[in-house]
Amino acid sequence: MNTAINTRILPLFPLQTVIFPQGLLPLRIFEARYLDMVKDCYRNNSEFGVVAAIEGASRHFPFCEVGTAVRIVDFEVPEIGLINIRCLAAQRFRVHAATQQADGLWLGEVTAIEDDVAISLPDDLVRTADSLRHVINALLKQGFDEDTLPIAKPYQFDDCAWVANRWIELLNLPLEQKQRFLELDSPLVRLELVQDMFIENERRD
């Protein structure tokens, strides 16, 4: 596989999930190919890519072409053949080419997608951040501590991308819809769409 200057090779993990930059992803690993992958990534402090396994989403691969690189922050071996990890998501990427190894592991030739531009919350979207803060406080009152929350510090309640991304991870949305959010370039539009969903739910109630 030839690589251009701005590309890199990343092991890929197709999953029924979508993770956004700065998001937390806990995983239980038991398949041999992924056990080897996470051991190598943890040992080398390197990343792997999470891509949504949506049938028909790509003409070229059995997974979506836009995914997110993650790095392992917690690593536990509760028993032989099982590894529990928690990952922190980094940058989005686009898969341009991919090959599958004999063990079934996909290696992707990927290029990074630029980080979301930092945009302060407009006044009409502040309620989305206030609601997210309320959710975090409610979880803490229920006995969660900050190390076990599904949202990692630092909290950025004044940033459109951070607030939108955390809501999309928390909400029970179809995988295809979460993927469309991931592929949106504008964090402001992403958050506006999240608020539109809240308003629509309130109307139904």
The dihedrals phi and psi of 61, each to the nearest 5 degrees, come to: -135, 160
Q: Average per-residue pLDDT in the chain?
A: 93
pLDDT (0 to 100) of residue 144: 79
The 8-class DSSP code of residue 38 comes to H
> Are 68 and 182 a contacting pair, CB within 8 Å?
yes
SS3 126: helix
Assess whether pLDDT exceeds 60 at residue 79.
yes
pLDDT interval class at 2 (50, 70, 90): very low
Structure tokens at 197: 């969903």
Q: What is the DSSP string of 53-84?
A: --TTS-SSSSS-SEEEEEEEEEEEEEETTEEE
Structure tokens at 194: 């999240």
pTM, two decimal places? 0.92
pLDDT (0 to 100) of residue 1: 41
The dihedrals phi and psi of 121, each to the nearest 5 degrees, come to: -70, 125
Amino acid identity at 144: F
- Write the pLDDT tens digit of every residue in 113-139: 999 999 999 999 999 999 999 999 998
The number of C-alpha atoms within 13 Å of 53 and in the hemisphere containing its C-beta is: 6
The residue among 83, 71, 95 whose CA lies nearest residue 182 is: 95
